DNA sequence: ACTAATTAGTGAATATTTTCACAATTCAAA
DNA sequence: TTTGAATTGTGAAAATATTCACTAATTAGT
C-alpha cells in the first residue's frame, strides 16, 4: 500500500519499461480486459514479475492482492505519470521524409504531443504544406518557441547540421530534445535529450542478428498475441 | 594487448554506445583528426574514459599508449564489428509516412542496409512508387524474404497489426526486426527485435522534461561542438 | 466460517555495470 | 639518454539493477 509515487529520479530503463506497460495496458483495455497481474505483464513483455512490481511501485498504482492491477487504473496512472494528460507542444526541425513523417504521425498527437511547427533551413522547402502546417524558415524558430510555449524539439536534420540546430533550440529556450540525427547531441543537463536514432538502432540490430546466427540460436516458437488467441 | 574481439555476448548498452563511438569517429575522420583518446571520446559523449576503454576492448582496436586510438582504425574496426562491411538486405512493412521515410533514408543505405522492398496490406497503396521501389502486396512478402535473402524486417504499421506482421515475417524466415510500432513485439530468441518506437521515446522525453523542471535544473551551458570551436 | 490458491509489496541476495586507481607503456622533449 | 607527461588496459571496488523468496492480504469456493 505504500507506492509513494513521488520518490526521486527514476532510472531511464524503468521509464522505458513504463511506456511498454502503458501501451500493453491500452491494448488490454481495448480488449475489455479488466485485471492484469504482474506475472502476466511480465510474461508478455519478457520481464520477471518482480521487475514489473518494482517498476509499478514508482507510479501511483495500487495493485490488489489476489487480482493484480486494474487495467483502467493502470492506464490512467501511467498516462498521468508520463505527462500525457498535461500535454506538450513540439516542433520538428527538418522537413525531410523523417521530419514530415513525425509531424504527420497521428499517434503522437494521441499521446499528448501537439506538433505546432515544422522548420527547415532550405528555402525551397519553406512554404510547403505538411498536413495542416506550413514549413517555416529557421529565422522564425526562436520566436515561435517563445511565443507558442514550445516544450520539445525534434531534430530531424542531417548529422552535419544537428548540433547547431540543437544549440539554436537550446538558446531559444527549448525544454527537451528528441534526436533523430545520426550523431550524439550535447546539451546542458537541464535540457534532456532522448535518442531516436534509427540508423543506430539498425546497426544494433545488425549486430544482434549476426551474433544470434553465430550462436546458432534456434527456438521453440509460439506465435505472439495475435496468433495465440482470438482477440476481441 | 588482449582485446580478444570474439568474447561472448556483449551487453546491449555497450553495442548502443559503440554506435555512438562510430558516428563520432566518422565525424572526426571527416574533420581530418587522426587520433582520439578515450577521455576525449568520453567527454564528447558524456561517458567516463574507463567506460570507453572497456567498451572498446570488446572490439578489435588496439589503442596506443600515449596517443589514444587512431581514428581511421577505430572507424574500420567499429564498421566491421557492427557488420556494416558485410551489409544487410531489409524490407519495410507499412507504406505510411514512417515506412516511406525509412525506405528513402539515404543514411541507412550508406550504413550497409539495402532496402529491397516495401509492403502494405492496403490495396490502394500497392503499386505506389517509393523512391526506386514499388509498394507490393503482403502476399508477396514470404517469397521475397526467401528469394532475395532478406535479413531484416522493419515494422512500420499501426499497433493493431504489428504483432501479426511480425509473426508473418518470422515464419517467413526473417532474421531480425526493427519495431517502429507502438507495442512490444514478441519474437523467438533467434529473431532479435530492436525497438525504435518513437512515440515511446517521446513519452520518455516528456517525463524527463517534467522531472527536470521539478528539480529546477539550471546549467552552466557551453555550446556543443559546432559552437565551441572553429572546426575544419 | 474456513481453507486453498493467488498475488502485491519488499528486504535480502545476486548479478551486472560502471568507476576507480594504478602498473605498464609510449612518446616528446631536454 | 633520461625525465616527465599522457594514456591504455585491467583488476578491484563501488554503484545499480534485477531476481529471489517470503509475508501479508484478499478472494473464491466449499
| Tens of pLDDT, residues B83-92 | 999 999 999 9
Q: Which has the higher per-residue pLDDT, B106 or B218?
A: B106
Q: Per-residue pLDDT for B81 more than 70?
A: yes
Q: Could you give the count of Cα atoms lying within 13 Å of B215 in the half-sphere of its Cβ?
A: 17
Q: Which nucleotide is nearest to A3 (CA to C1')?
A: C9
Q: Which pLDDT value is given to residue B4?
A: 34
Q: Do B184 and B92 belong to one domain? A: yes
Backbone angles phi, psi at A74, to 5 degrees: -60, -50
Look at A202 and B108 and tell me if their CB atoms are within 8 Å: yes
Query: Using 50, 70 and 90 to split pLDDT, how confident is the model at A3?
Result: very low
Q: What is the three-class DSSP state of A206?
A: helix
CATH number of residue A116's parent domain = 3.40.50.720
The answer as to whether B177 is a domain residue is: yes
The answer as to whether A147 is a domain residue is: yes
Q: Which of A150, A122, A116, A119 is nearest to A136 (CA)?
A: A119
Q: Do B102 and B53 belong to one domain? A: no
Q: Per-residue pLDDT for B98 more than 70?
A: yes
The answer as to whether A5 is a domain residue is: no
Q: Do B108 and B74 belong to one domain? A: no
- Separation of A70 CA and D30 C1' (Å): 28
Find the domain containing B49 and state its range: 12-81
Q: Are strands A113-120 and A129-130 parallel, antiparallel or unpaired?
A: unpaired
Q: Which pLDDT value is given to residue A213?
A: 81
Q: Per-residue pLDDT for B140 more than 70?
A: yes
* B-chain residue closest to A89, CA distance: B206
Q: Do A194 and A95 belong to one domain? A: yes
Q: Per-residue pLDDT for A7 more than 70?
A: no
Q: Are strands B176-179 and B193-195 parallel, antiparallel or unpaired?
A: parallel
Q: Which pLDDT value is given to residue A55?
A: 98
Q: Which pLDDT value is given to residue B9?
A: 84
* A-chain residue closest to B44, CA distance: A186
Query: Using 50, 70 and 90 to split pLDDT, how confident is the model at B3?
Result: very low
User: Could you give the CA distance from residue A202 to residue A197 in angstroms, rounded to a whole number?
Assistant: 9
Q: Which pLDDT value is given to residue B212?
A: 87
Q: Do A132 and A163 belong to one domain? A: yes
The answer for residues whose C-beta is within 8 angstroms of residue B74's C-beta and 6 or more apart is B21, B25, B36, B56, B61
- Mean pLDDT, all residues of chain B: 91
Q: Which nucleotides of C are covered by protein (CB under 7 A)?
A: 5-11, 16-21, 24-27
The minimal CB distance from A202 to the residues B16, B100, B113 is found for B113
Domain boundary among B65, B81, B97: B81
Q: Do A162 and A100 belong to one domain? A: yes
User: Could you give the CA distance from residue B19 to residue A47 in angstroms, rounded to a whole number?
Assistant: 26
Query: Using 50, 70 and 90 to split pLDDT, how confident is the model at A25?
Result: very high
The answer as to whether A28 is a domain residue is: yes
Q: Do A21 and A106 belong to one domain? A: no
Strand D and A8 CB separated by under 7 Å: no
Q: Which pLDDT value is given to residue A205?
A: 97
Q: Per-residue pLDDT for B40 more than 70?
A: yes
Look at B203 and A82 and tell me if their CB atoms are within 8 Å: yes
In chain A, the percentage of residues whose pLDDT exceeds 70 is: 91
Q: Which pLDDT value is given to residue B225?
A: 58
Using a CB-CB distance cutoff of 8 angstroms, which residues of chain B are in contact with residue A10?
211
Q: Which nucleotides of D are covered by protein (CB under 7 A)?
A: 5-11, 16-21, 24-28
Domain boundary among B81, B100, B122: B81
Query: Using 50, 70 and 90 to split pLDDT, how confident is the model at B1?
Result: very low
The minimal CB distance from B183 to the residues A27, A180, A200 is found for A27
Average pLDDT over residues A81-86: 93
Q: Per-residue pLDDT for A5 more than 80?
A: no
The answer as to whether B109 is a domain residue is: yes
Q: Per-residue pLDDT for B52 more than 80?
A: yes
Q: Which pLDDT value is given to residue B220?
A: 65
CATH number of residue A60's parent domain = 1.10.10.10
Q: Which has the higher per-residue pLDDT, B219 or B80?
A: B80
Q: Do B75 and B176 belong to one domain? A: no
- Name which of A209, A212, A215 to mutate to probe chain B: the one with the most chain B Cβ atoms within 10 A of its Cβ: A209
Query: Using 50, 70 and 90 to split pLDDT, how confident is the model at A230?
Result: very low
The answer as to whether B210 is a domain residue is: no
User: Could you give the CA distance from residue A131 to residue A39 in angstroms, rounded to a whole number?
Assistant: 42
Strand D and A50 CB separated by under 7 Å: yes
Backbone angles phi, psi at A81, to 5 degrees: -60, -40
Backbone angles phi, psi at A195, to 5 degrees: -90, 130
Q: Is the dihedral of CA B225, B229, B230, B232 positive or negative?
A: negative
A164-210: pLDDT as tens digits: 999 999 999 999 999 999 999 999 999 999 999 999 999 999 999 99
Query: Using 50, 70 and 90 to split pLDDT, how confident is the model at B78?
Result: very high
Using a CB-CB distance cutoff of 8 angstroms, which residues of chain B are in contact with residue A82?
203-204, 206-207
Q: Do B110 and B132 belong to one domain? A: yes
User: Which region among A211-220, B130-139, B176-185 has the lowest average model confidence (pLDDT)?
Assistant: A211-220
Average pLDDT over residues B135-153: 98
Contact present, A186 and A163 (Cβ < 8 Å): yes
Q: What are the start-end ranges of the H helices in chain B?
A: 12-30, 38-45, 49-57, 71-81, 97-103, 106-110, 141-147, 159-171, 198-215, 225-228
Q: Which pLDDT value is given to residue A60?
A: 87
The answer as to whether B64 is a domain residue is: yes
Using a CB-CB distance cutoff of 8 angstroms, which residues of chain B are in contact with residue A191?
212, 219
Q: Per-residue pLDDT for A11 more than 70?
A: yes
Q: Which nucleotide is nearest to A51 (CA to C1')?
A: D18
The answer as to whether A158 is a domain residue is: yes
Q: Per-residue pLDDT for B6 more than 80?
A: no
Contact present, B102 and A100 (Cβ < 8 Å): no
Look at chain A and report how many structural domains it folds into: 2
User: Could you give the CA distance from residue A96 to residue A107 in angstroms, rounded to a whole number?
Assistant: 19
Query: Using 50, 70 and 90 to split pLDDT, how confident is the model at B60?
Result: confident
Q: Do A133 and A182 belong to one domain? A: yes
* B-chain residue closest to A162, CA distance: B226
Amino acid at each position: 500500500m505504500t507506492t509513494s509515487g513521488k520518490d526521486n529520479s527514476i532510472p531511464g530503463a524503468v521509464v522505458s519499461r513504463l511506456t511498454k506497460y502503458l501501451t500493453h495496458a491500452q491494448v488490454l483495455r481495448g480488449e475489455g480486459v479488466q485485471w492484469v497481474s504482474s506475472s502476466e505483464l511480465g510474461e508478455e513483455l519478457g520481464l520477471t514479475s518482480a521487475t514489473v512490481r518494482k517498476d509499478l511501485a514508482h507510479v501511483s498504482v495500487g495493485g490488489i492482492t489476489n487480482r493484480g492491477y486494474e487495467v483502467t487504473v493502470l492506464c490512467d496512472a501511467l498516462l498521468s505519470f508520463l505527462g500525457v494528460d498535461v500535454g506538450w507542444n513540439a516542433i520538428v526541425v527538418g522537413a525531410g521524409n523523417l521530419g514530415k513523417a513525425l509531424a504527420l504521425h497521428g499517434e503522437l498527437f494521441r499521446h499528448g504531443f501537439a506538433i505546432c511547427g515544422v522548420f527547415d533551413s532550405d528555402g525551397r522547402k519553406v512554404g510547403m504544406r505538411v498536413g495542416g502546417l506550413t514549413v517555416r524558415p529557421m529565422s522564425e524558430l526562436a520566436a515561435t518557441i517563445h511565443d507558442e510555449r514550445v516544450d520539445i524539439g525534434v531534430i530531424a536534420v542531417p548529422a552535419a547540421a544537428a548540433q547547431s540546430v540543437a544549440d539554436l533550440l537550446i538558446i531559444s529556450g527549448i525544454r527537451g530534445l528528441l534526436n533523430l540525427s545520426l550523431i550524439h547531441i550535447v546539451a546542458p543537463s537541464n535540457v534532456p535529450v532522448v535518442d531516436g536514432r534509427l540508423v543506430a538502432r539498425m546497426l544494433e540490430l545488425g549486430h544482434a542478428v549476426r551474433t544470434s546466427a553465430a550462436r546458432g540460436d534456434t527456438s521453440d516458437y509460439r506465435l505472439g498475441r495475435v496468433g495465440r488467441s482470438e482477440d476481441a
